[in-house]
Amino acid sequence: MGYRYQYVKIPGEGNRYFCIQQNPFVLAWLLFFKKNTLLPMTIGDGAGKWSLNYIKSEICHYYSFSRTNINKLIRFMKYKFHLQSLDPLVELPCYGQICVLVNKGHKIFDLRRRVAIKVYRDDIDMPDITHEMERLQKGSLFDFGPSIRRKNIRERWYEEDYIDGVRDYSAKPRNSSDLLKKFHEEIVPCLERLILHQSPVTKNTGDYVDEIKSIMASGNLMREGLDTHKIEKITAFIDSITEQLHSAGNVPVYLVLTHGDFCPANMLNTRHGLRVIDWESATLRSALFDFYSYFFYRSVHQKLPVGQLSSEIEVALPYLTGKLNTTAPDISRSLKSFEKVYRWLYYIERVHMLIERERYDTKHNIIDVILRFIEVFNTYEGISSDHNEKFRHINSITSINFKAEEAK
């Protein structure tokens, strides 16, 4: 891979870069017929479908879509034939029609060969690349994940299957009834298979939390240049959740294989069902990590009201534990008995995972992402406390009325 391919960023394309060496007709095909494969889709609620207003809006949408893509093609032609300066530009050792900026490097998509190739940046340490590739192999164990075709740690790249589908993501979250229907039919089977893939590991919460905090303490979160006030907020939250876990007792919890970023942004709807991509963070974590990842993502990244999130989880969690009651009764009992503990563990694990990512992520301000998660976590805990208080109040009233009836 000695040859270098040039990828140019076209204004308005976010993190997408287009390879200058490709045929313009191929790019036209990509823009007009493969766009949603590589970009988020917009999920509508279906209200008023085939009404006059709906048809008008669809016509306007496709007109805007066509005009925008024609402008992109014109701009690309100017770059290709040196009628406009190539800026910004990325040079990479692999060919594809487009590439996108991802954590630790770039991902190149070659739709002709149906592969996705990740190329790591030069500043990424070799042990980190090796560790990530080991995690990626876990996705190949499931038919809903992509298979690794080739890899070369020394040359800092790997090649996996390209999955043709539409991203299950929208800036506007789908309504709860549609989401829960999808959860029951497609998400739960994936969660079950992850949980049941191997014999679970059991750890006491005290030991597990101390282990995570030890890893975080050895990280680079306290380096110069980071906002001290923000770091103090993160540290205070971790200490607060740790204290709650210790107050709950040193209980045994199950650790299972988790995807790590199990959320709509990493899910594709295909002709063969749901597919999950981006397994770089797959490892053992608490048994509800992926479950909470799926739901909390909606409030953190899609601005779903936390009250609605809480109502969804109240319905979804009993359904999952009910399904596990048949296939993994011990895990199911543990999840029901220590629901709060598993949720608090998720908070600690999620912050830990983001802190690890902060060292290399060039797409996001990870510290701000952590603070947004913490804000949602705190709001959710407040709602949960209110629900528990109301439940206790109702129970106490019921008990008083029952005793009064008995006295009569």
pLDDT tens digits, 275-312: 999 999 999 999 999 999 999 999 999 889 999 999 99
Domain total of the chain = 2
Q: Which of 350, 344, 345, 339 is nearest to 373 (CA)?
A: 350
- Which pLDDT band holds residue 221 (cuts at 50, 70, 90)? low
End-to-end CA distance of the chain: 89
| DSSP H or E run through 161 | strand 157-161
* DSSP three-state, residue 284: strand
Q: Is residue 400 part of a domain?
A: no
The backbone torsions φ and ψ at residue 43, rounded to the nearest 5 degrees and listed phi first, read -100, 115
Judgement on whether residues 241 and 389 belong to the same structural domain of the protein: yes
What is the mean predicted confidence (pLDDT) over 58-68? 81
> In CATH, what number is assigned to the domain containing residue 283?
3.90.1200.10
Check if the beta carbon of residue 124 is closer than 8 Å to that of residue 360. Answer: yes
Per-residue pLDDT, 3: 77
Structural domain including 54 reads 5-161
The residue from 118, 140, 161 where one domain ends is 161
Assess whether pLDDT exceeds 50 at residue 403: no
Q: Where are the strands (E) in 141-183, listed by range?
A: 148-152, 157-161, 166-167
Structure confidence by residue, pLDDT tens digits, 326-379: 999 999 999 999 999 999 999 999 999 998 887 777 677 889 999 999 999 999
How many helical (H) and strand (E) elements, i.e. helices and strands, does the chain have? 13, 14
Judgement on whether residues 173 and 119 belong to the same structural domain of the protein: no
Rounded to whole angstroms, how far apart are CA atoms 253 and 201?
8
* DSSP three-state, residue 201: strand
Provide the 8-state DSSP code for 32: H
Judgement on whether residues 193 and 315 belong to the same structural domain of the protein: yes
Check if the beta carbon of residue 126 is closer than 8 Å to that of residue 153. Answer: yes
What is the mean predicted confidence (pLDDT) over 133-161? 93
List beta partners, residue 252. Answer: 204
Structure confidence by residue, pLDDT tens digits, 176-189: 999 999 999 999 99
∠ Cα 354 357 362 (to 5°): 120
> How much is the pTM?
0.86
- Tallying the residues shown for the chain, one arrives at 408
Dihedral sign (CA 311, 312, 316, 317): negative
Rounded to whole angstroms, how far apart are CA atoms 307 and 50?
32
Structure confidence by residue, pLDDT tens digits, 228-270: 889 899 999 999 999 999 999 999 999 999 999 999 989 999 9
If you write DSSP's letter for every residue of 48-71 in order, what string do you get? TTTSHHHHHHHHHHHHHHHHHHHH
Judgement on whether residues 244 and 103 belong to the same structural domain of the protein: no
Q: How many Cα atoms occupy the beta-carbon half-sphere of 33 within 13 Å?
A: 6
Judgement on whether residues 218 and 248 belong to the same structural domain of the protein: yes
Judgement on whether residues 386 and 283 belong to the same structural domain of the protein: yes
